[in-house]
Amino acid sequence: MKIAIIGTRGIPNNYGGFEQFAEQLSVRLAERGHIVTVFNPSFHLYLEKTFKNVSIVKLPCHENILGGAAHFFYDYYCYKYAIKQNVDVALFCGYGTSAIAIALLNKHYTKAITNMDGFEWQRAKYNFITKKLLKWFEKIAVKYSDTIVADHSIIQKYYNNKYKVVPALISYGAEIPLHFDESTIVSFELTKYNYFLVVARDEPENQIEFIISAWKNSGNINKLCVVTNFQRLSRKYSNEKNIVFINRLYNSIQLSNLRHFSLACIHGHTVGGTNPSLLEAMAAQSFIIAHDNLFHREILENNAIYFNSESSLSLILHNFSAKSEKTDKAISNNLNKIRDDYQWG
């Protein structure tokens, strides 16, 4: 089968969840004998035409000129290219900039499958008009896609209730590391079990500054390590001696080591579905302190500590100084959940 993956910032992953999904899925599909193409925007730094037997097609994406609007044109060109190549299935990662292309081009020769992501219209970074547009794009994607995919049962239920369709439920996965190397954390001047870790893109709904403020007010003497994609925060908090900022780290082995040797991973994501960073923290055997929402509760159950305000997180951090039998049990339960439900096949 000929399969194209559209709507990401390209592979190898150097950005986020959809890119991780595209990389993991495309490589595994290629290993099973499928002919797989991933579209990379022109600004992606990878220059080769293949990646682990996956074809890479670069098309223009003038983000530097048009901003986010460039991706409407980019997704359209990608889908048009895939159709001309007689691709059997085009898998769209998200609907925000691809819904119009699907509506205009889908003649059902090349099947359009759309991974609907989380509730995009809930993201704090969007204004009122953008949120309304995203609601409209959501409706278009549901109507014109041949199949839609949800990565979490709560999202699946939402589309069933609202649109009377049942999305295929396909969650993200995580790889369980075989071993951990302390030299990674030493290179970042960290000591094992003496730092809290945040791994997140610098987006309002990921609450990095919220977490920093809670940590500062907690009085906890352990360091805070923040792995993110921009230098804005490292410049803003440059006088904070106990915060270690690591910008643009995408090496999965190093990230696993950072997670494993942390005192706890603080997961502040507020917009659902199944977040790959959370699964990777579970797979790396890190204890989780998570924002209290239904998405996290369903995955972590009672195997985490939850916060719902800055003051509650400060209190958690104030009282959290060492791992215990209880945290070790939670770590073990989360690892078993990855093995049973979320391990990449």
Q: What is the pLDDT of residues 244-280, one digit of tens each?
A: 999 989 899 999 999 999 999 999 999 878 999 999 9
Question: What is the model's pLDDT at position 15?
Answer: 76
Residues 161 and 230 occupy one common structural domain: no
Q: What does the pLDDT average to over 51-73? A: 96
Distance CA 283, CA 139 (A): 35
Mean pLDDT of 267-296: 94
Q: What whole-number distance in Å separates Cα of residue 59 and Cα of residue 156? A: 32
What's the domain range around 204? 183-342
Count of alpha carbons within 13 Å of 123, Cβ hemisphere only?
19
Contact 21, 7 (CB under 8 A): no
Strand partners, 245: 226
Q: Alpha carbon 273 to chain centroid distance?
A: 9
Rounded Cα distance, 8 and 71, in Å:
10
Same domain? 81 vs 134: yes
Phi-psi region for residue 21, left (φ > 0), alpha (ψ -120 to 50) or beta?
Answer: alpha
- Look up residue 192 and give its two tokens: 């094992």
302 is written with which tokens?
């009672």
- The pLDDT tens digits of the residues spanning 115-153 come to 998 888 888 888 999 999 999 999 999 999 999 999 999
Output the DSSP codes for 164-221.
S---EE----BPPPS---THHHHHTT--TTSEEEEE--S-GGG-HHHHHHHHHHHT--
- Please indicate, yes or no, whether residues 120 and 230 belong to a single structural domain of this protein: no
| Domain edge (last residue) among 169, 191, 213 | 169
55 with 38: CB under 8 angstroms? yes
Give the type of residue at 277. S
Which one of 136, 169, 202 terminates a domain? 169
- Answer yes or no: do 187 and 261 share one domain: yes
What is the arithmetic mean of pLDDT over 212-225?
97
The CATH number of whichever domain residue 305 belongs to comes to 3.40.50.2000
Same-domain status, 248 and 107? no
Cis peptide bond upstream of 12, omega within 30? yes
Pair 223, 126 in one domain: no
Kindly state whether residues 329 and 240 are assigned to the same domain: yes
Q: How many domains does the chain have?
A: 2
Rounded Cα distance, 273 and 162, in Å: 17
